[in-house]
Each structure stands twice: as structure tokens, then as C-alpha cells.
Chain A
Amino acid sequence: MTLLLGLWGCGLFASVPSAPAPVLPPVAPFRDEAGPPRIAPDATALPEDLVCRPGVASLDCFEAIPEATVTLGAQSADPTAPGYDPAAAPNEGPVRTVRVPAFWIQRHEVTVNAWNKCVAEGWCDPAQVGTGLQANVGRLDRLDHPVNQLTWRGARQVCASLGARLPTEAEWEYAARGTEGRRWPWGDMPGCGRIATAGETREWGVHMPEGGTCTFAGTTHPASTSGMSPFDLVAMAGNVWEWTADRYVPPEGEAAPEGDDLRIQRGGGWADEDPLQLRTTVRVGVREGLQLMDVGVRCAWSRP
């Protein structure tokens, strides 16, 4: 035992750092009369109806993501170094290996239906979602589409109404690319998202590339359709960009715009025509209060 401890002290068994996790203040419901969140604050397990099960259709359920040591990020400077991706922007680095504790994440992006419920129950502020032509909220034919035009605050509210939270950036990226470090959620071939069959149905928010460019879809697609990640998560690429908990810190040499805090969005959205925009390491910093038409969220949870 003493020998082992000594070796530990020599750094031969140096531990992998944990992925950073921002500490955010708790979210209070928008209205005082809001009831308790669906997952109790002291719950040590998810309610059964929120656990994804094979053969059971649920747009709210969570998939378990096991603890792992993963390599995150990408770089385009050195083809021989880990995480090489010729398309990587400077802010996709540095490539780092971190330990991500076990957590749960929703299989689907949060839907309009779920947002409406959150507002009705008093947790969510309706002003956190934009209105107008591109808004899914307010359209009866879009109830199972992802809520879009969502602010970061609104994203936190809808997750808090479940008793959940925003995923950290590390959790998001690990969930999207798995332990094998996929370039896109479905693998390493460029694409815009899974499509159904050759023929008429382009069942995705962004279509398969023709000549290297995704066909502009014009809108979101129902949350229930394909585009699988290694953990059976849907739409980790395309449909809507997803807020994470992390603040965007510009890489060295890059200035940040003034104003609200920038928070990180991941995953790409339906307006992205470039398949490279949908890679699992792509990240952008966007002002918290913006209500962009291609932005939504999926929630995460972990044991307290």
C-alpha cells in the first residue's frame, strides 16, 4: 500500500481530470404557483416513465450515459496529433482528455408540447420563446417539433421544470460522439442527417448532401425521427442547435463581442447547409437572450 501510494505520488498513476462543469444558480419557476418539478431534487433515480425503454415511444425520456474517459475537441494544425480534423476551427480545440461522470440525457430535443406544458405549469416564461413565422410554438402542427427561438434562460427553465438541467458542453460532446470520437453522431462519413429512403421522404431537418452541400430544409422536423448517436440519441446533429450550461470563452487571440454572456450551443441546426457545420466538435458562443429560429435544447440529469 505504501509503495502504491509512493508511485502515485511520482505521477505514474496520474488521474485524468474531470470535465469542467459550470456552477449555476438554481432556477426558480417563473410563477409562484408552479408545482414541484417532475424529478424530485433528492431523487437518486429517474422516475420510470422518464427512462427510455426499447419499443416505448417517448419524447421526454432520458438515456443513460456511463462514466468514461473521453477525448474531446478537434484541431486542424497537426495531422499526426490526436483529434485531427482538417475542418476544425480554432475554437474546437484544444483537444483534451477528460473524465465525464455518468449522467442521463434526453434522447430527443425538448418539444413544443413539453414547452407548452412547462408554461402551463408555471415553470416557463412564455417570453423566453420568440414568436413569428419561424416559431414552432403556437403551431398545432408542430407540437412534436423541437421548441425553437428559445433563450438560454428558457432552456434552463424547461429543464428545471423536469428537475433536470442543461448538459455541460463536455457531456454534450461525449453523448454525441461516444468514446470512439465520431466526427458526426452517426459516424465519420459526412452527411446532413439520416434520411428514410431514396425517394420522396426526406425525414430530416437537413438533407443528405448533393455535391457536398446539404439541401436547405427550411424548417425543423419532428423530434421523433432519426439521426442516431452512439447512445441512441436523436438529432445530435441538425434540427436545432442545443444550449449547454457552459459559458463561451474565446480562444486565445479571439475577442468576445460585448453584451450578454455568451453560452455555448452545439449540434448544428436545420438552417445549416454545410455538413461540416454539423460535426460533433463544432461549437458557437451565442448571447443568452437571443431567440434564434434554429435553437432549442435537450436536458440532462445526474444523481445529486
Chain B
Amino acid sequence: MLLTAALTLVLGALAGEAPHAHHRGDGAGRFPDATVPSFEAKDRRWTQPAPAWSNAAPVLFAGQVCALAEPTTVWCVDADTGAPTWSAQLDVLDALSGEARAEAEAARAAALVAEARYAEVRQQWSALRRELRRDPEAMPRLEAADRELKALEPVLEAGRPYITPPVREIVGYTSHSPLTDGTRLYVLLGTGLVAALGPQGERLWSTWLGPAPTPRRGYHLGTCATPVLVDGSLVVGWDHLVALDAATGQERWRGEPPYALYGSPAVARPDGRAVVVTPDGFAHDARSGDVLAEGLGDAWFVGPSVDGDELMWIGRRVEDPRREPQGRIVAEAVRLRGATGALAVERLWRTELPTRDAVYNAAVPAPSGWWVGDALGRIWRLDRADGTSTLVDDPRGTPAYASPVSLGDTLLVVNDDGMVRLVDLASGEVTLRTRLGPTRATPLASGRRVWIRTLEELLALGVP
């Protein structure tokens, strides 16, 4: 018992474990107590192959590093040794029981059969459409194919909510990073399932939010907004912003207007009051969901970054879809105030970056600026005072989907192609360039450890 307790203490110290209410360190991508590790292979503490790829950041939970794997797997390993501890498959049907579950299973089975036939007939339909150009006698066959498709549709509609249909590979079902408050591990999947798990993977509660919403901007590639934990609520950005009681999964409130955005919500505390801020610039009271402010900022693919009472949005802004369908890359910052009532909004600055390339990751605040990567792997620094942008590094690489993080005074950026860079946050100097495997998950750090979840493995890096 004593030994177990001692080991737990030691492991906890090594891992620097503390309850996380956000992903990305303190929610802004900062790990202030973390030490920059060695990236040399010989200093690697351990490597564990992943069951499948995922974009979700790993999280520290009960002495373990827990991660996700496509399409519906949660898997955990010992934080210090990398030894697998448990894994689980999370099914939408987990949220149902009894007759409801039996009906859902039957609907799913029928829909799977119908889906295969639908795909076949749709191909025929397209070919007949093409044939009609040269042969009007294709019309009756086109009509027959059209009739069959319409007959299959009700079967598909009934069963599809329970199926995990293919999504575009880039987003998948596990792009939302898991969270923990130290007691439970919270997982949101692109199937709409939200689950709370215990330290050994025991299912504490699960609820189903419904099928993935079609995003209001961009193509329907899946969903990827990571929830936030705030004052006992797990707040999920789904078709709407939905607050669930973290202990029971019961819905506490549902926000308006609709959400259906790629970017993650963020938590700010102006004058101590918890508010949940959305990528499209709404601030909701964390207790009630009431809108306290709107029009704060706007970004297509990523949520706001928060530093105290200062918030920053960066991303695509499309104001004239006809003339500029790709829009511009706009960054803007506001300060929020107000412990009660409506929030007071102070607009700090607005700037446009000299690039049209998208931004897929959230910025990290530092005294020297807001730091962010773009779709071409470039690193930008935006001045805190006026948003003036500086191109810090331009490697002509691949996109950075993983958000950068700061380890003390050093920025860690990992690109989609596995390029790793360390940047001194004071000087802007790139102090290291190296390469790991292709990565889309934001790194995790604690104390003398950094964990990086590439598409194929989980690495534990340490200080030599």
C-alpha cells in the first residue's frame, strides 16, 4: 500500500500531473513549468505504436497518457513506462439501453445493407446521366435507378445515425482532444458520442448528441471542436453549444445561436466570471449559456485563444464570397470586462496577414506576441499591442494542423509532415529543426516530459 502510494507520488512528480480543465496545457497552449526535451532518438524515454491515426492531443490522466485512435478508440499507457494500461471502443449505442438499443441495432444492420446497394445504384445513376446525353433511351433506366435510390433512402435515414460512415481522412472521428479534471476522462467523438471514463476505463456515463452537424463554413469533413471543462460543466461545440453536467452527463443548457463550427470554444474569465467564447465571436455565460456579447471576432477553422482577459481570433474571413471566395486572413483581439450583466468589450486591434493561406491551429500567447502557424508551415508572430505580424520562419513545408505550444520560453511547433521546430519566444530565433513522424496532434508536456502523438505512435521525450 505504502509502496503503491509512493510510486504514485513519484510517477505523479515525474509526470507533473495536475487536473487539466483544457487541452493544450492551460488552454492557451502554454506549459510554463515544462522543460524543453531532447529530440535525439537516444534520449527518447519510450515509444508506443498507436492502434490507428488520430488528430487528438494526448492527455495526462491518473498516471497515464491517454490518446484516441480512429475511428472510436480510447487507449492509455503508463505515463512513465509507456506500458499499455487499457483501451476501449466507444459506440454510439453505448448511450442507449433496452428496447431503444435493440431498435437502433436493427436499424443500423438494415442501413449497412442498404448503404452498399445505394453506392452501387448511385454509380449506375451517374453513368446513366452521362449516357442520356447521347442516348435518350437511357431515360427509363435512369428513372428506375432514381426510384431505387429513393426507396433505399428511408432505410438509410433510419440507420445512419448509428453508423460510423466514412469521413474525409483528414478529420476523421477523433479530432476532438480528450479532457480530464483529474477524476474523469471526457471523450467526444465525431459520431456524437460523449463519454466519461474512469482511471481504468470504466464507463461512468455516456450520452449521444446526435449525428455530426454539417459545419456552417467549409465542407463537411467531420467535426473537431474540442470541448472545454468549466465550473463542473463539460461544454461541447456540436450543432449548438451544449453544457453537460460533468458528473452525470445531463444537459445543463443549450446555447443559441447554432454552433456547427470547426474551431473549439475557449474559456475566459473576465473579472472572474466564467464565459465560453466561440469561434464566431459569441460569449456565453458558462452557468446559463446566455449570450453576454457577440461580434467579438471570427475565424473559420480555429477557435479563439485566451490570455487572461485578452482574446484573439485569427483565421479566414470571407466578406465577399463572389469576388474573394477564399477571403482574407484576419486577426483581431479584444479585452473583456464585467463580472455581472453584459460584458464590456474593448477592441484592441485588427490586422490582416499578408497571406491568403489558411490557419488551422490556435495561437499561443507570450509576452513577445501571439504565435501561430499557417497552412504552409510558416510561423507568424503578432504583436500584442497592435497585431503587427512578423514572419518568423518560412520553411515551405506542409500545414501545421497541430497547434503550437510553449514550453517555458520556447515555442514547439510540429508540422503535418513531421517537421519539428523550437523557437525562442524572446528572440524569435529558430533553435532547432528536426523531424519526427507525420503529426497532427498538439503536443502534451509536463515537467521534464513531452509526449508527441504522431499519426503512428506515441513518443515520450525527456530531458537527458
Contact = CB atoms under 8 A, between A and B. Distances in A.
Nearest to B122: A271
Given A57-B322, A201-B326, A271-B126, A130 B150 contact: yes
Interface string B99-136: 00000000000000000000000000110011011101
Contacts, number: 97
A141 B214 contact: yes
Nearest to B135: A254
A226 B133 contact: no
A292 B322 contact: no
Given A250-B136, A273-B126, A284-B133, A199 B357 contact: yes
Contacts of A272: 126, 129-130
A89 to B, nearest CB: 5
A286 B142 CA distance: 10
B146 A290 contact: yes
Contact of B358 (A200, A271, A287): A200
Contact of A226 (B136, B143, B150, B322): B322
Given A132-B150, A200-B375, A89 B134 contact: yes
Interface string B187-218: 00000000000000000000000000110101
Nearest to B140: A257
B325 interface: yes
A238 interface: no
Interface residues of B, number: 35
A197 B260 CA distance: 23
A133 B125 contact: no
Contacts of B140: 257
Nearest to A58: B322
B153 interface: yes
B133 A255 contact: no
A272 B157 CA distance: 24
Nearest to A271: B126
Given A222-B321, A273-B126, A287-B143, 14 more contacts: A132-B154, A141-B216, A200-B218, A200-B375, A201-B326, A224-B321, A255-B136, A257-B137, A277-B130, A286-B132, A286-B139, A290-B143, A291-B146, A292-B146
Interface of A: 55, 57, 89-91, 130, 132-134, 141, 194, 196-197, 199-203, 216, 222, 224-226, 234, 248, 250, 254-257, 262, 269, 271-274, 277, 282-287, 290-294
8 contacts: A132-B150, A133-B157, A134-B153, A197-B356, A201-B325, A226-B322, A271-B126, A284-B132
Which 7 A-B residue pairings sit nearest by Cβ, starting from the closest? A132-B153, A196-B326, A141-B214, A257-B139, A133-B153, A89-B134, A284-B132
